Chain A
Amino acid sequence: MKRIFFILVLIALFAAACTPAPDIGNLTPPYVDTGVDPETWATVPAGEFPYGQHDHMTMVDYDYEIMVTDVTNEQYANFLNDALAAGRISIGAVEVEAGENVRLVEGVAGYYPGDPFDGYDHEVEIKAGEKLYVPLDEGSLRLVFDGEAFSAMPEYANHPMTMVTWFGANAYCEFYGYRLPTEIEWEKAARGTEIVNGHGLPFPWGEEIKGNNANYYSSSDLFEKMYGKLGDTTPVGFYNGKTYEGYETLDSASPYGLYDMAGNVWQWTGDDYPDQHYRYMRGGSFYSYEVDLRVWKNNSAGPQFYSPSVGFRCAR
Chain B
Amino acid sequence: MKALAKRFNYLFRSTRGLTLVAIAVIALITAIWGTLSGPMVEWGIRDITVKVLGMKLVQAEREGRIIMLYHTIAMTVITIEVYFMTEMLPMKRYEQVVINATITVGYLTAVIFGLLFAYWGHNFAFHGLFLLGQSLVFFAGILLAAALWPWKKEYRLEKDSPFTHTKKGVDLERMAFFVMAVATLLSATFGAVTGSYWGNGHETFLAEDLIRTPNKTVLQKAIIGHLHIMLTLIAVAITLIVGRWMKFKGILQKIAMPLMISGTIIITIGALSVVWLEWAHITIYFGSVFVMLAALMYVIYSWDKLIKDRIAELGIKNPNGWQKFKALLHDPLKFGPGWQMVFMNFTVSGVGIFLAIKLEEIFRVWPHREERITLTGHWHILSGLIATIILFYFADLSGLKGKVRKWFGWTVIIMSDLAFGSVTIFSMKRLFVTEAEQQTIVNWTMLLTDIGLALVLVALALFMIWRLYDLFQEKGYWSHELATERKLNAKAGIEEQKRELEELTAILEEESE
Contacts and interface: CB of A to CB of B under 8 A. Distances in A.
Contacts, number: 106
A287 B435 contact: yes
B368 A301 contact: yes
A228 B369 contact: no
A196 to B, nearest CB: 10
Given A53-B60, A202-B60, A22 B439 contact: yes
Interface in A279-316: 281, 287-288, 290-292, 294, 298-302, 305, 307-310
A259 to B, nearest CB: 20
B360 A292 contact: no
Contacts of B365: 98-99, 301-302, 305
A99 B438 CA distance: 23
B127 to A, nearest CB: 16
Contact of A99 (B204, B278, B362): B362
B486 interface: no
Nearest to B444: A17
A199 interface: yes
Contacts of B204: 53-54
A99 B42 contact: no
A120 interface: yes
A252 interface: no
Contacts of A200: 60
Interface in B195-217: 203-204, 212, 214-215
Interface in A220-259: 227-230
A276 interface: yes
B212 A307 contact: no
Q: Which of under 10, 10 to 19, 20 to 34, or 35 or more describes the interface residues of B?
A: 35 or more
B214 A24 contact: no
A123 B62 CA distance: 31
Q: Identify whether the interface residues of B are mostly helix, strand, loop, or mixed.
A: helix
A279 to B, nearest CB: 10
Contacts of A291: 62
Contacts of A16: 447
Nearest to B369: A299
B436 A100 contact: no
Contact of A276 (B214, B367, B448, B451): B214
B368 A300 contact: yes
Contacts of B442: 229-230
A63 interface: no
A275 B215 contact: yes
B366 interface: yes
Interface of A: 13, 16-17, 21-22, 24-25, 53-55, 98-101, 120-124, 138-140, 197, 199-200, 202-203, 207-208, 218, 227-230, 266, 275-276, 278, 281, 287-288, 290-292, 294, 298-302, 305, 307-310
Smallest CB-CB A-B distances: 3 pairs: A202-B59, A301-B367, A275-B214
Interface of B: 41-42, 58-60, 62-63, 203-204, 212, 214-215, 278, 359-362, 364-369, 434-440, 442-444, 447-448, 451
20 contacts: A21-B440, A25-B436, A53-B203, A54-B203, A55-B60, A98-B361, A120-B214, A121-B214, A122-B360, A140-B435, A197-B58, A203-B59, A218-B42, A230-B439, A275-B215, A278-B368, A292-B369, A299-B367, A301-B366, A301-B368
